[in-house]
Amino acid sequence: MSSGLRFCLVALTLALTCLTAHGFAKRPAELWSFFYFNGTAFVPGRPAPLSPFVAVRDGFLPVVETREERIREMKLPEGTGALVGICYVQSYGGKLKPAGGYHPVPMLEVPVWAGEKPASPAQTDSEGYFVTPLPAGSYRVGNQKVEVNVENGKISFIPLRVGKRMVD
């Protein structure tokens, strides 16, 4: 066998080994999508450092985080989807701050109704976010009874404005 052919076989073997190792070494975080609340809606992407974000992956319970470390994976129960939301107070005005913004509402009980029956209630965390797994179906959420559909194995987002603050 010529040395040129031997070199090509070694290079090809090395390349395939490296690609296989890279494929097995993928971190679970690379399989997740990230969303954050920008004051009016959930948008895809990563927010500023130490700002809360939601990591989502179909078939898994969403995770609210403030740092990118290993995400705790928990599968959704069979036949359920998940609802992710934030409760916030909208803020307008102010001489010392730019106009607009929001303030999260921590530790707030969020009612969830399936038809006329109460479903599993949720409670916001210290950043105003809540996550709850629900069977697939249509729900009304919060005191405003905002309609949201939850699909099997999918994640639904809902921002709930629970107040407005005008500052002068």
Q: What is the pLDDT of residues 83-107, one digit of tens each?
A: 999 999 988 766 655 555 889 999 9
Average pLDDT over residues 137-146: 93
Q: What is the DSSP string of 28-96?
A: GGGGSEEEEE-SSSEEES--STT--EEEE-TTB--EEESS-S-----BPPTTEEEEEEEEEEEEEE-SS
Same domain flag for 17 and 68: no
* Dihedral Cα 129, 134, 139, 144, nearest 10 deg: -20
Confidence (pLDDT) at 120 = 83
Same domain flag for 142 and 59: yes
- The total domain count for the chain is 2
Same domain flag for 77 and 139: yes
Same domain flag for 58 and 16: no
Residue 82 belongs to domain with CATH number: 2.60.40.10
pTM of the predicted model as reported, rounded to 2 decimal places? 0.75
Residue 99 corresponds to which tokens in the numbers above?
Answer: 């106009």
Same domain flag for 77 and 147: yes
Same domain flag for 72 and 137: yes
* Domain extent at residue 50: 32-167
Same domain flag for 66 and 117: yes
In this predicted model, what pLDDT tens digit does every residue of 11-36 receive, in sequence order?
A: 666 655 655 555 444 444 468 899 99
Same domain flag for 19 and 57: no
4-8, 16-20, 30-34, 41-45: range with lowest mean pLDDT? 16-20
Q: Judge whether residue 166 has pLDDT over 80.
A: no
Same domain flag for 18 and 56: no
